[in-house]
Structure 1
């Protein structure tokens, strides 16, 4: 099943080496494959200040974070393809990729897939849910040719 994805991209970051709209679209579509035929997602790329502000406002954590997911809260009878919004903090993604010795765009792809799965209702609050989500992320990312996201670099 092909995925028809409408991705609205907002860049509110001064960071360089950001993925293209086409890359973001491909990564999100790969996360949706087999799960949704039609979807609309907004992706906003931000810097530390905006990420920290949103993370504090919505999660009571006073620090920037890699990705925040805001699922659309629509009544089911509307049957709209709107999944929700992702806010990705470019400096955090860049820092984490370096710390974890991962290729930058491999980590970007992971954040987009991770956030998209959250929009679909997947979570990692408890161990069993985390195991399911991590397995799915690994399948999606390795299917695109990226290394498994949760393996340590030796």
Structure 2
């Protein structure tokens, strides 16, 4: 069993942010590698998220999660997975808009970002299907339902 060290940085405040233990547990659950590693998980406000999203993705708006995989220089071996930057206000807004619990959406963003750090992506349909299926399975371990189901697809009661 590999060990994942999660360094949590809180660059924003709020009374509805997940506890460190929750963030650690979600990140560890999504760690699919057979070697020890370390990840920095930074919780930010909209301004920092927008700046990073603009600088690295060319999009001048805040986003829910940004993943920055670590790429060691040739010949250097380091046990760093990379950095995750999660925008607390965007996560809160999306959870409300999508009718999801805030905790479930936080878990999804951590799992989603951790999978990106490990090379998973959702650019093509087959990649998206694989990544989404894995997210659904991992979130299910916490009793969290499929985050990709919409309210319209649920049966009426």
TM-score normalized with structure 2 length? 0.91
Q: For the pair shown, which has the larger CA radius of gyration, 1 or 2?
A: 2
1:15/1:91 contact within 8 Å kept: no
Q: Distance in 1 between matches of 2:37 and 2:22?
A: 16
2:37 maps to 39
Post-superposition Cα deviations, 1:98-122, rounded to whole Å, max 9, x if no partner, equal 0010010100000000000000000
How many residue pairs match? The answer is: 152
1:105 maps to 103
Q: Distance in 1 between matches of 2:74 and 2:5?
A: 20
TM-score normalized with structure 1 length? 0.93
**Structure 1 unaligned regions, length at least 5:** none
Q: Return closer, same or farther for 1:93/1:7 CA change in 2, 3 Å cut-off.
A: same
**Structure 2 unaligned regions, length at least 5:** none
Moved >6 Å (runs of 4+): none
Deviation at 1:76, TM superposition (A): 6.7
User: What is the RMSD of the two structures over their aligned residues, measured on CA atoms?
Assistant: 1.3
Deviation at 1:93, TM superposition (A): 0.2
